[in-house]
Amino acid sequence: MAKLPVTRITLAILLTAALQTAIVTALEAVIAYFYFSTVPQPFERLSSDRGIPIYLILFAIAQLFLLVMVWDTVRQRNIIQLIGVVVFNLCIFGYAVFQYFQISRLEYLEILALNRVKETQWDFETMKRNMRPLLIVIPCVTGVSNIIYMWLGYRLHSDFGWDVFKRIGANAKLRKMYRAYHIFVLLVKIDFFFFLGFALQFIILVLRNSSLELWLTVAAVPVTLAILILAIYAVHAENRFIMGLFMAGLVLSMAYFIYRLVRINAEANSEQYLNAGKFLTFFASVSLVAIILTFIQSVICYRNFGQGLKCHLRGGKAVELDRPNYPPTRMTLEG
């Protein structure tokens, strides 16, 4: 296991991620408290707000996922994943802005009619008034954090590039294969997050009364995690058999999400998908795109098997060079 490198910059980026996770998760918890204490029966079938608790949970999960990604980025000194952190946090920022408008548009009369709420409209407006400053703070925190990630990432770029050079050497072909490996690992992590997001929504909002499909979907979450971990092992060990099975599984996953997208949009007005179809479509679409990209990257990595990268991934002897003699001052993504 790689030792966690401790420098002022790596500590700064870890502290930023930890503070963002703690602050945003706490704010989301307070928002959830206001919501549940004011609006009972949040999962009512016909209510347009029934998905909000799930979206709050997914937002908190995204924060934890980001924290793990930052820790793993620093541990592996991985510039590719550092870029992934910036992009992923930018998506979190975008959803934080969307969340503000989503909750601000909640209408008291609709919730009153559909959920048979007994509280007064004053209670509902008080809930929205209490939520509003929290909903404004969240995108501010994520936005400032992303600026910090980009600045610290720029500072870390040359250090991480130096480590890659010591591990791989000046061989441009090896550096290209090494980059392909890390892109694959990053895509696998993204695959799991968006599949988990889709599965949570699908289980709670759609499959509540479908016992067989419900338990199959629940079981698919840990199974998917195990398969993705096995896929990373297959690339690391250059195991062609396991990698072939994984790529076949990706093809089946593409078929599954295409089927889900067709069914969700074909039955968008049915009670089963009412007011849940848009987010399910978003997560299913992103999952499908991520799976396609993963498949393409899998093929690239598979073709790189047997060309000398495995010994470097397994801790082969690093290139012994003094830093002043390091030819490029900065390791570029192009190698």
What is the mean pLDDT of the segment spanning 271-293? Answer: 80
What is the mean pLDDT of the segment spanning 106-120? Answer: 49
Residues 109 and 50 in one domain: yes
- 19 domain residue, yes or no: yes
Using an 8 Å Cβ cutoff, are 152 and 89 in contact? no
pLDDT for res 177: 84
What is the mean pLDDT of the segment spanning 215-243? Answer: 86
- 128-149 pLDDT, tens digit per residue, is 788 889 999 999 999 999 999 9
In terms of Cα–Cα distance, which of 291, 195, 199 is closest to 248? 291
- 127 domain residue, yes or no: yes
pLDDT exceeds cutoff 70 at 162 = no
pLDDT for res 139: 93
pLDDT exceeds cutoff 70 at 210 = no
The whole domain housing 260 covers: 170-316
- 244 domain residue, yes or no: yes
Residues in Cβ contact with 139 at an 8 Å cutoff, skipping those fewer than 6 apart: 93, 96, 97, 100
pLDDT for res 334: 42
Q: What is the pTM of this model?
A: 0.78
Residues 123 and 160 in one domain: yes
Stronger pLDDT, 216 or 233, i.e. the higher one? 233
* 3-state helix/strand/coil string of the chain: CCCCCCCHHHHHHHHHHHHHHHHHHHHHHHHHHHHHHHCCCCCCCCCCCCCHHHHHHHHHHHHHHHHHHHHHHHHHCCHHHHHHHHHHHHHHHHHHHHHHHHHHCCCHHHHHHHHCCCCCHHHHHHHHHHHHHHHHHHHHHHHHHHHHHHHHHHHHHHHHHHHHHHHHCCCHHHHHHHHHHHHHHHHHHHHHHHHHHHHHHHHHHHCCCCHHHHHHHHHHHHHHHHHHHHHHHHHHHCCHHHHHHHHHHHHHHHHHHHHHHHHHHHCCCCCCCCCCHHHHHHHHHHHHHHHHHHHHHHHHHHHCCCCCHHHHHCCCCCCCCCHHHCCCCCCCCCC
Residues 125 and 33 in one domain: yes
Percent of the chain having pLDDT more than 70?
A: 74
Last residue of a domain, one of 168, 189, 221: 168
Residues 176 and 161 in one domain: no
Residues 268 and 304 in one domain: yes
The pLDDT mean for the chain works out to 79
CA–CA dist 62, 291 (Å, integer): 19
Residue with tokens 């480590």: 163
Residues 139 and 55 in one domain: yes
- 18 domain residue, yes or no: yes
Please tell me the total count of domains within the chain. Answer: 2
What is the mean pLDDT of the segment spanning 248-274? Answer: 81
Instruction: Of 6-20, 78-92, 115-129, 292-306, give the lowest mean pLDDT range.
Output: 115-129
- 97 domain residue, yes or no: yes
pLDDT for res 91: 87
Highest mean pLDDT among 72-76, 223-227, 262-266, 285-289: 285-289
CA–CA dist 181, 235 (Å, integer): 7
- 322 domain residue, yes or no: no
- 332 domain residue, yes or no: no
Stronger pLDDT, 54 or 248, i.e. the higher one? 248
Last residue of a domain, one of 168, 189, 207: 168
Residues 158 and 45 in one domain: yes
- 269 domain residue, yes or no: yes
Residues 177 and 138 in one domain: no
